[in-house]
Amino acid sequence: MVETAKLIQGNQAIAEGAIYAGARFFAGYPITPSSEVAEECSRRMPRVGGVYMQMEDEIASMGAIVGASLAGVKSFTATSGPGFSLMQENLGFAVMAEVPCVVVNVQRSGPSTGLATKPAQSDIMQVRWGRHGDQIVIALSPSSVKECFDLTVQAFNLSEKFRVPVILAADEIVAHMRENFTPPAPGELQVIDRKKPTVPPEQYKPFEPESDGIAPLAAYGSEYVFHVTSSMHGPEGVSNNNPANATWKVSQLHKKLELYRDEIVLTKTFDVEDMDILLVAFGAVTRAARAAAVEARKTGIKAGVLQLVTVWPFPDRELAQLAGRVKTVVVPEMNYSGQVAGEVRRVLGPDPDIKQVNKFNGQIITPQDILKAII
């Protein structure tokens, strides 16, 4: 409805999406270009019964949201490159201890301090592999203010359902962009809460998966008393150094997501039915790719777009299925090395002509940049 549409910024939509999803704890440390998420939470959390905490650094922020989540409250943080680097160790803790939480990484130009106010998509591999130890993660990437909201809700849902941290890999463009947006009414979007134990408290094993592959999670302070550790542990949650147990545990952390791969991997397609060229894009660059496809068609070139809404796990099957129809695949992304292009090559092998469009100077990829690669 037009009457209730508002001009909303991406970062604000992320904060509102989190609150819609039931988040009632935010801990963070200010950093451009994510600070508006913290600012919005500082205003909203006290009014919705939640708590906003500004921690001493991003290490503490990540630790605090894990603690709060284990006390039964949906929790999240928001940061950008330098802060995301600091969060890695405790993010790995959330993977190991199977703690639901959401980490928003508004990507900006690097390395290091880089161009602090300018956009990039250069943390894609850090999102996937940034922590020590073998693990898989879920990462979603929004291309609009509406997707900032919707995918934040989705991130919480996936996080709660599978007991994993989920990363919202946004970029400075969507985070600072304002668009007309009508927030959904309560109940309009599905909101998933973590599965609670139903066994008698003395029988509860916090890391023993049920038949669906996922272990229920109690909350500190409930009638269930439980032990959580960063060390290798068995179903009871206490340290266990047995190799057989480690084999089980590491496999379990992977398998619980592999099992639900199709539910986790989200993509969108545009004009792919009759395409000769496939553009593969994610985040804000999706928009340039779509605009380029529209322009290309004006010159008789049939281009289509695959948007990787889920970046990790990588949408390999969806890509392979679409790429089978074309000879040329173009991957525009705001980084030097072609972090997603590398994945596209891994999936498609040597046959198709894979072209990269890379920009890494803080400037936005335009439809013209992409058109140059396909015309």
Partner 1 sequence: MKERYEIILAGSGGQGLIVCGMMLGEAAILEGKNVVQTQSYGIASRGGFSKAEVIIDRDEIIFQQVQKPDLVLALTEEAMEIYASGSPEIPVFYDTTLLKTRSGENLYGFPFTEMARELGHTGTANMIALGVMSAVTGLVKMESLAAVINKRFSGKVAEMNIKALNLGLALAAK
Partner 2 sequence: MSHATGLKYLKKDSLPLMWCSGCGNGIVLAALLRAFEELGYGNHNTVVVTGIGCWGKADDYITTNALHTTHGRALAFATGIKAVNPKLNVVVLMGDGDGVTIGGNHFIHAARRNIDLTAIVVNNCNYGMTGGQFSATTPADSFTSTTAYGNPERELDICALAGVAGANYVARGTVYHGRALQNHIKEALNKKGFSLVEVVSPCPTHFGRNNKMKSAVNMLRWLKEKGVTREEYERMTGPEKNGYFVIGKLADRNAPDFNTRYEEIRARALGQ
CA-to-CA separations, 297 to 237, 257, 301, in angstroms, rounded: 57, 39, 5
Which of partner 1, partner 2, none binds 347 (CB below 5-8 Å, type-dependent)? none
Q: Does the footprint of partner 2 cover residue 55 (CB under 8 A)?
A: yes
Quick one: 212 or 223, whose CB is closer to partner 2? 223
Cis upstream peptide for 184 (omega within 30°)? no
Residue 304 host element (H or E): strand 303-308
CB of 59 to partner 2, least distance (A): 6
Q: Does the footprint of partner 1 cover residue 116 (CB under 8 A)?
A: yes
Quick one: 290 or 355, whose CB is closer to partner 1? 290
Q: Does the footprint of partner 2 cover residue 73 (CB under 8 A)?
A: yes
Residue 14 host element (H or E): helix 10-20
Number of shown-chain residues binding partner 1 (CB under 8 A): 22
Helix (H, G, I), strand (E, B) or coil at 368: helix
Q: Which of 138, 121, 150 is nearest to 13 (CA)?
A: 150
Question: Residues in the chain, how many?
Answer: 375
108, 176, 194, 256: which one binds partner 1 (CB under 8 A): 176
Backbone torsion region of residue 349, taken as left when φ is above 0, otherwise alpha when ψ lies between -120 and 50, otherwise beta = left
| Rounded (10°) CA dihedral 216, 220, 224, 230 | 60
**Residue 45 carries which DSSP code?**
G
Separation of first and last alpha carbons in the chain: 40
Which of partner 1, partner 2, none binds 5 (CB below 5-8 Å, type-dependent)? partner 1
Q: Does the footprint of partner 1 cover residue 373 (CB under 8 A)?
A: no
Residue type, 359: K
Quick one: 211 or 241, whose CB is closer to partner 2? 241
13, 41, 64, 124: which one binds partner 2 (CB under 8 A): 64
CB of 70 to partner 1, least distance (A): 37
Residue type, 150: D
Which of partner 1, partner 2, none binds 75 (CB below 5-8 Å, type-dependent)? partner 2
Q: How many CB atoms lie within 10 A of CB 3?
A: 5
Site residues for partner 1, window 243-302 (CB under 8 A)? 284, 287-288, 290-291, 294
Which residues contact partner 1 (rule: CB under 8 A)? 2, 5-7, 32, 116-117, 173, 176-180, 284, 287-288, 290-291, 294, 364, 366-367
Which residues contact partner 2 (rule: CB under 8 A)? 24-25, 27, 43, 46-47, 51, 53, 55-57, 59-73, 75, 89-90, 93, 220-231, 238-239
